[in-house]
Amino acid sequence: MQSSNERINELICRTCLHLDQENFDDYLKLFTEEMNYRVVTFSPELKKDMVWLDHDLSEMKHLFKMLPQHVKMPGKFFRQAAVYTIEKSKQKWNSTTSFLLIYTDLDGQSRVFAAGRYNDEIVEHDQKLLISKREVHLDTRDLAPGIHVPI
Amino acid sequence: MSRTAQEWEERPAVPEGHFVDSRIYTDPLIFNEETQKIFNKTWKFACHVSEIPEIGDYRTFDHAGYPLIAIRSDDGEVRCFVNSCSHRSSVILDAPAGTAKNLTCPFHLWSYDTRGNCVHITRPEGYEEAGICKANRGLRQVRAETMLGLVFVNLDDSAGSLADYIGDGLETFSEILGTHELEVFHYHRVVMSANWKQWHETNMELYHEWGHVVNRTTSVAVKGYHDRMWKLYTNGHGTLEPLAVQYKNYPGWEDRAQKMLPGLTEGEFRVVDLFPNTTLIARSTALRIDTSTPIAPGKTLVEYRGLGIKGESPEDRAMRQKHHNQFWGPLGRNVSEDVLFVEKVERANRHRAAKHGIIARREGGRGQDDEVVRSFYREWKRQMRRDPEDITQLVDAPSISATGSN
Ligand SMILES: [Fe+2]
């Protein structure tokens, strides 16, 4: 029997695996119906926090549906994640995961595309652990051309 | 039919001004000449006044290879200085933004006030014999002028005023920029493998909107899209008549029918391209300003700002932010595609596989007509005194051209 921490670790790793493999349907199954996904970063130029993406489930579904029609960076993205902390409060867990997003171009060259942390809120639903909130906190602010998929 | 090497290199059989030599994007001598003849002499957008609201607030940035500081001085004026100590030249401020009472060089602790006066020399008695003193070692001031909240700088002390340079160029944005106090809520930058002019071209030629699915669905497909007239101003600026963009045509997106920025109607799109490299785009509820900084012939920094109304409710701001991000955020559906487009062009230009860029669309000065791009290159030719069709040809400066030849 896995501990809740092991299950949370596995859940977070699965979000990375599904995104890496562009299994977007399976990715979204790891979130609750009321999910919220945000990408945030701090601007030292403005001395302010910025929100670069703020989506609910329906917006995430539209985003994935329209992807094939967009001109995207060619090549592959790969996420290297390490869960640093998991804290339980009432019926929720909050976790902090450090990640690197690695981009491999069509010629096979890899480089770090982005660095940051996933701050997740996790709940149990029908004996399954699901992410109810993911805040991607980016350290990297120059995302090269830009990215069409969640980080 | 495919073409031989000779045919590929021949001058395209189009009227004058309807193509460019690809070396304008790649030649290091042209790049240096642009720095001297264009960027050292024209007004350059630096920041929005809201980025330096209080006395001592500053922003640092590079322009024409110079590190610069824009600062709110103690008399409330916005001033600009070269970010270099007048002692041993060290850059004084590293942070992109901050607040300072005095600007103190970390190297030998010389210090300057917010008006650029030298106010401290460490152990000044050591300079008495050589005649160095605070009175003769102020910072180098750079001209800074503000229009509608936009701060511009000019390295040329003898240049004409900003107002003369812009002329009527911002008329379609005066209500948007000038009604309420605005503030920048979004800033991001991209260093792209492309020439700075390529970026400005994407902001001028709307023909490439076919390449973006969001633009195809929400704009190109909309009635009236091809009927809008471009208006060209002196000094290479240009604007386009507005369009009511149908945002709901893109799956999952909503109308932009509420909380429009001042002067804008539902879905309204406006753009103004300011020579040489600043563009303002309004999309009903959202306003973007972008400006580039050339780094090398094939390397350009582009900065993107998003603005909202200062003091608006968190709900209104969240909506504006969402609308900004949909098109223009780093995870948005439009701007990242533009970067990919210009990088693809640069790859073919880099070693002159491509010889010419065609800017020959003529649609009566409407919509996807390239006349605004041709107007840009007429201004480039005037300032550079060089023919963009063949960079080896020096030309006498043509007179200032305002309206197009359509
Ligand atoms: Fe574009």
The ipTM estimated for the assembled molecules is 0.96
User: Confidence class of residue B405 from pLDDT cuts 50, 70 and 90?
Assistant: very low
- Is position B385 within any domain? yes
B14: CB partners within 8 A, 6+ apart: B358, B360
Q: What is the CA radius of gyration of chain B?
A: 23
Model confidence band, residue B212 (pLDDT cutoffs 50, 70, 90):
very high
Average pLDDT of span B248-262: 96
Query: B325–A141: do the CB atoms touch at under 8 Å?
Result: no
The two most distant CA atoms of chain A are separated, in Å, by 49
Average pLDDT, chain B: 96
Q: CA B139, B142, B146 angle in degrees (round to 5)?
A: 130
Distance B336 CA to ligand 1 centre (A): 9
Q: Indicate the residue among B129, B158, B187 that finishes a domain.
A: B158
d(CA B114, CA B27): 39
* Bridge partners, B270 (sequence order): B282
Q: What is the pLDDT of residues B113-145, one digit of tens each?
A: 999 999 999 999 999 999 999 999 999 999 999
Residue B181 lies in a domain: yes
Among B158, B187, B221, the domain-final residue is B158
Query: Considering the domain boundaries, does residue B368 fall inside one?
Result: yes
Residues B194 and B265 in one domain: yes
pLDDT band at B397 (very low <50, low <70, confident <90, very high): low
- Cα B269 to Cα B169, B205, B219, B288, distances in angstroms: 16, 15, 9, 11
Residue A134 bridge partners (DSSP): A37, A120
Q: Is pLDDT of B220 > 60?
A: yes
User: In terms of domains, do B173 and B132 share one?
Assistant: no
Residue B232 within any structural domain of the chain: yes
Judge if B324 and B387 occupy the same domain: yes
Asked if residue B152 and residue B258 are part of one domain, the reply reads no
**Residue B401 pLDDT level (bands cut at 50, 70, 90):** low
Same domain membership, residue B246 and residue B292: yes
Residues lining ion ligand 1 (Cβ < 5 A) are: B 202, 338
CA–CA separation, B5 vs A139, rounded Å? 48
Query: What pLDDT was estimated at residue B404?
Result: 45
Distance CA A62, CA A133 (A): 18
User: Is residue B146 located within the same domain as residue B257?
Assistant: no
CATH number at residue B335: 3.90.380.10
Domain boundary among the residues B158, B173, B190 is at: B158
Contacts of B10 (CB under 8 A, 6+ apart): none
In this structure, the answer to whether residues B151 and B219 fall within a common structural domain is no
φ/ψ region of A22 (left if φ > 0, alpha if ψ in -120 to 50, else beta) reads left
pLDDT at A2 over 60: yes
Does B35 fall in a domain? no
Q: Are residues B254 and B228 in the same domain?
A: yes
pLDDT tens string B154-187: 999 999 999 999 999 999 999 999 999 999 999 9
User: Quick one: B212 and B150 in the same domain?
Assistant: no
Please tell me the distance from the alpha carbon of residue B210 to that of residue B175, in angstroms, as a whole number.
30
Which tens digit of pLDDT belongs to each residue from B29-40? 999 999 999 999
The answer, yes or no, to whether residue B191 has pLDDT greater than 50, is yes
* B94, B183, B186, B188, best to mutate vs chain A, most A CBs in 10 Å: B188
- Give the Å distance between the CA of B56 and the centre of ligand 1: 37
CA distance A102 to A111: 6
Q: Does B207 touch chain A (CB under 8 A)?
A: no
| pLDDT tier for residue B23 given thresholds of 50, 70 and 90 | very high
Distance from CA of A87 to the nearest CA of B (A): 29
Q: Are residues B176 and B240 in the same domain?
A: yes
The enclosing domain of B96 has a CATH number of 2.102.10.10
DSSP B285: T
Q: How many domains does one find in chain B?
A: 2
Residues B131 and B172 in one domain: no
pLDDT tens by residue, B47-78: 999 999 999 999 999 999 999 999 999 999 99
Instruction: Answer yes or no: do B254 and B225 share one domain.
Output: yes
Q: Binning pLDDT at 50, 70 and 90, where does residue B396 land?
A: confident
Contact map slice: B 93-112 vs A, CB within 8 A: 95-97
Say whether residue A107 is in contact with chain B using an 8 A CB cutoff.
Answer: no
Assigned domain for B21 exists: no
Rg, Å, chain A Cα set: 16
The answer to whether residue B335 neighbours chain A at the CB level (below 8 Å) is yes
Q: Determine, for residues A144 and B339 on separate chains, whether the beta-carbon distance falls below 8 Å.
A: yes
> b/e for B115-149, b at 16 or more Cβ within 10 A?
bbebeebeeeeeeeeeebebeebbbeebbbbebbb
- Closest Cα in chain A, distance from residue B331 (Å): 5
Burial class (CB in 10 A: 0-12, 13-18, 19+), A33: exposed
Judged by CB atoms within 8 Å, which residues 257-316 of B form the interface with A? none
Its domain, for residue B388, covers 164-394
Q: For B47, phi and psi rounded to 5 degrees?
A: -170, 175
- Chain B hits for A141, CB-CB cut-off 8 Å, are 188-189
Alpha helices by DSSP H, listed for B208-358, are 213-215, 314-328, 335-349
A50, amino acid identity = M
Question: In which band, very low, low, confident or very high, does the pLDDT at B398 lie, cut at 50, 70 and 90?
Answer: low
Of A22, A39, A2, residue with least CA distance to A128: A2
Please count the CA atoms within 13 angstroms of the CA of A87 that sit on its side-chain side.
Answer: 5
Per residue in A20-30, pLDDT tens?
999 999 999 99
Percent of chain B with pLDDT over 90: 97
Tell me, yes or no, whether B128 lies in a domain.
Answer: yes
Is there a domain that residue B109 lies in?
yes
Asked if B333 and A144 come within 8 Å (Cβ–Cβ), the reply is no
List pLDDT tens digits, range A87-139. 999 999 999 999 999 999 999 999 999 999 999 999 999 999 999 999 999 99
- The structural domains of chain A, ordered by start, are 4-138 (3.10.450.50)
Distance CA A54, CA A40 (A): 9
Q: Tell me: the pLDDT tens digits for B78-109?
A: 999 999 999 999 999 999 999 999 999 999 99
pTM of the predicted model as reported, rounded to 2 decimal places: 0.96
How sure is the predictor about B406, in pLDDT bands with cuts at 50, 70 and 90? very low
Contact, B358 vs B364, CB < 8 A? Answer: no
Quick one: tokens of A7? Answer: 């299950």
